[in-house]
Structure 1
Amino acid sequence: MSRNYERIIFERQDGVATLRFNYPAKRNAFDPQMREEMAEVVRLVQTDASLRALVLTGEGSHFCSGGDLGNIAASGLDNAGWRARLSSLHHWLKDLMLLDKPVIAAVDGAAYGAGFSLALAADFIIASDRARFAMSFIRVGVVPDCAAFYTLPRVVGVQRARELMLSGREVSAQEALQLGIASELVAPEQLQARAQAIAHSFVGASPVALSLIKRSLAMAANDLPALLEQEANAQALAMGTAEHRDAVQAFLNKQPAPFQWPAKA
């Protein structure tokens, strides 16, 4: 069974839910409509006992290219407005991260900015060998969000997370595997089948044991609420700067970003 929202395709089959970002015209960019629809789907998966695992993926050849900069530029939000938007996102994002069912991200193409962060919210990242990851926030003068300050250092370590966030550089699929970001790499044409196979394997597992494992791991997440509060404050400040507005305008005008990596000698 499937249901099409405006920005998401939601499917349920044999105990596995699949949430597919569906904005291919903008490489599945993350916009307010997608956020609202994700919140609804996460609540549904959270409360439906017949669903035993969740796959996150993207329609077409990309996972999620990050925030929709055109929408951001046109929003007209002030600092308080940006803080409220991030706080609203955090309600369901925390539910996704603490979901007591396995979450598998199937990543093809770009997982940039918020797309990278959303992939990191999963328990497993299965990537195609053409996947690309980037903490690209610095390129448009803002800070990582969607809990990346929490998730990325726990995957790659603080020093590597610092380098990836400050540079905003691209990480290839092969490097993502080496860093432990991706659990495994497969050919693009095998990606969806492999993610579904992993998800369906959990249908036969004890839901109680899965829940207890994830809840026990989540006990180490007692600093997550404080970190999300700091993220909302920091992003609200960053969104109000001239540097952010200039960087977004350069992107929309197809001009070089003010910040470039790697640095030129």
Structure 2
Amino acid sequence: MTDAVLLEVVDGVATVTLNRPARRNALDDELRAGLAQCMDRIESDRAVRAVVLAGSDGAFCAGGDLRGIRAAELDNDGWRERMKSAHAWLSRLLSLDRAVIAAVDGPAFGAGFSLALAADFVVASPRARFCLSFMRLGLVPDFGAWHTLPRIVGVQRAKELMLSAREVPAEEAKALGIVLELVPQDQVLRRAQALAASFVQASPLAVSLVKRALAAGPADLHTVLEREADAQALCFGSAAHKAAVGRFLDKQPALFQWPTGE
């Protein structure tokens, strides 16, 4: 594992930390390779029940590595292949069957904003800033933002954020639904890890099925109800459901509890 990305697994929670503080955790080739390696390890370890994405030293991710981009000197086919190689691990993150929480402190710009959007939940500090800065560089948003952002803020607002390339402060990001919770700067990672830890006691089947259903996108009512029936039938037969019902009937507290705010 490269030092550009740190992976720590504690009690079922994997914390993935972007570790290029001198470059504000910009996504250079080594960092991208490290993220791909993290996905390999997380996917293969079923004891990992939730993932936290974080950045080191007061920055989540400043976006792409512009020095590396300028030095690459690729033609159209080369840039397309470069993007597809990044999409290979990004699509695995987006479709991961476990909860993913982004802990955002400081800037989440460009592809860093897109990376935060790939999480199921975003916990941020008041000094977090979000910006799809691509238009400033004559580029289009990437890293899945075309898919994720409109689902959160709607098409019109997504167009505005993409085409204006303006910075979104933490409070506005929360109002738009991009951020789930704002917490003090020194509590961001701890709160994200507490949310992740709650999923260690959740039904992995239920978590997976909810994520898969919502990722499938809009469908007609009949299709949605059919999907719902199929998913619920699987859950009714699961050991997690039977154990949870047993605890309820025995008047024991449920194992899965969403953590209260601090």
185, 196, 201: which one aligns with 1:199:
196
- CA-based RMSD of the aligned residues comes to 1.2
Post-superposition CA distance 1:186-241 (Å, at most 9, x none): 0101111101100001111111111111122222299xxxxxxxxxxxxxxxxxxx
- TM-score between the two structures when normalised by the length of structure 2: 0.82
Who is 1:64 aligned against? Answer: 61
Give the 5 Å matches for 1:56-205. 56-205=53-202
Structure 1: distance between partners of 2:208 and 2:157:
30
CA distance in 2, matches of 1:209, 1:177: 26
Paired residue for 1:217, among 214, 218, 228? 214
1:140-196 deviations in whole A, cap 9, x for unaligned? 111100010111111111111111111100000000000000001001011111011
Deviations 1:15-52 (A, max 9, x none): 00010000000100011111111111112111210000
Match of 1:23 in 2: 20
Tell me how far apart the structure 2 counterparts of residues 153 and 52 of structure 1 sit (CA, whole Å). 27
Aligned pair count? 219
Partners of 2:41 and 2:217 in 1: CA distance: 25
User: Which gives a bigger RCO, structure 1 or 2 (Cα 8 Å, sep 6+)?
Assistant: 1
Task: Give ranges in structure 2 of 5+ residues lacking alignment.
Answer: 220-262
| Percent of residue pairs bearing the same amino acid type | 56
Distance in 2 (alpha carbons) for counterparts of 1:167 and 1:13? 40
Deviation digits for residues 61-114 of structure 1 (CA, Å, limit 9, x no counterpart): 000000010111111111111000011111111110010000000000000000
Tell me, what secondary structure is at the counterpart of 1:57? strand
Distance 2:129 2:24 in 1: 13
Which has the greater radius of gyration? 2
Q: Which residue identity does 1:199 align to in structure 2?
A: A
Moved more, 176-185 or 36-45: 36-45
- What is the alpha-carbon distance in structure 2 between the residues aligned to residue 204 and residue 73 of structure 1? 46
Q: Tell me what 1:235 maps to.
A: none
2:47 is the alignment partner of 1:50 = yes
SS at match of 2:70: helix
Structure 1 CA distance, aligned partners of 2:168 and 2:123?
Answer: 15
Q: Which residue does 1:226 correspond to in 2?
A: none
How far apart are the structure 1 equivalents of 2:138 and 2:218?
28
Aligned mates of 2:95, 2:82 — CA distance in 1: 20
Is 2:4–2:20's contact at 8 Å kept on the other side of the alignment?
yes
